[in-house]
A and B are shown apart, each in its own frame.
Chain A
Amino acid sequence: MEINVLEKTPLKLRLYIKDIPLHVLNSIRRVMIAEVPTMAIDSVVFTMNSSVFYDEYIAHRLGLVPLTSEKALEKYKLPEECREAADRGLFTEDCFVKLDLEGKGSEEGLVTLYSGDLKSSDPDVRPVYDKIPIVLLANNQEIRLEAYARLGRGKEHAKWSPVSVAAHKYVPLIHVREEICKGEECKKCIEVCPKDIFELKNGKLAIKQDKILDCSLCRICEEACPYNAIKINWKENEYVLTIESTGALPPKKILLEAIKILENKIDDFMESLKKEGVVK
């Protein structure tokens, strides 16, 4: 297996992976979306709300705010253990982080409360972005609430998913038969390509090598070519994996965590097979 890093920023990771079966890559991708735990607000207790917004509306907005979760993964109990505690109203410290929000409207104009105004009981778990507006308050309006965050998984609610994008795509193989292609006389494929991949070089049709991965295999160029000179295909067992984080976890951590979870799942499966006597 060969892996190249195409792009790496704090929120995005793009990998070119060779010699990996598609179903393995897809399993990892799906685990990243649905199984990697992150922190998010799950229960909100309102002690005062005289704003024009419903409690539910504010609670929903709070739930969607991404919280930093890298250290929380080791510190707090897993979602399966904490889920029932919240239903019974037990906000224990090994499961929940408390975040307080308080604010009052002023006479001078509208007051906006931001995610940065949330006061967390654990400095390792706080909003990733400080400028997300939560509520607007006019004069004589007041809000006081306690929000409780816990670990959860994307399969329970999308707010716990650490990724906004986790996708893989094929690597395109664009084949131009030069003996048929009319080059400068035609140019139909150049005009029609939505990703702007073709160009003319010395009167001949050429492919922009730095843009080849942008190709979405839409095959409009194939159809547009009056001489059938273009053939689009894809490489076997080569893929581009894109991960875009919501900020809760760094993309590298998401990938490693996903692989760990997938491994555990397979181990569990093997164990069950042994227990049932299917394998020895």
Chain B
Amino acid sequence: MMIPVRCFTCGAPIGHLWEEFKKRVEAGENPGKVLDDLGVKRYCCRRMFLSHVEISCEVLNFPKVS
């Protein structure tokens, strides 16, 4: 699905950082360094980014049944 709006554990908003994170990691930067830059400090928030798979962009293109 889409990137969660908030961290599951601590509730800090993280959704707004996702696009920059994605752009910079795809450009070849180290994910850990990018998270440090974005100010994502705790490991509960960091795993939200590192473990996220953006599946919805692909599912979206299948035809809807109902």
Contacts and interface: CB of A to CB of B under 8 A. Distances in A.
B26 to A, nearest CB: 16
B50 interface: no
Given A52-B60, A110-B60, A129 B2 contact: no
A133 B3 contact: yes
Contacts, number: 61
B61 A138 contact: yes
Interface in A74-129: 110, 115, 128-129
Interface in A155-195: 158, 161, 164-165
Given A65-B5, A133-B2, A165 B12 contact: yes
B32 interface: no
A214 to B, nearest CB: 13
Interface residues of A, number: 26
Contacts of B64: 50, 52
Nearest to B5: A64
Contact of A164 (B1, B3, B7, B60): B7
A56 to B, nearest CB: 13
A136 B57 contact: yes
A128 B61 CA distance: 31
B18 A246 contact: no
A52 B10 contact: no
Interface of B: 1-7, 10-13, 15-19, 56-57, 59-61, 64
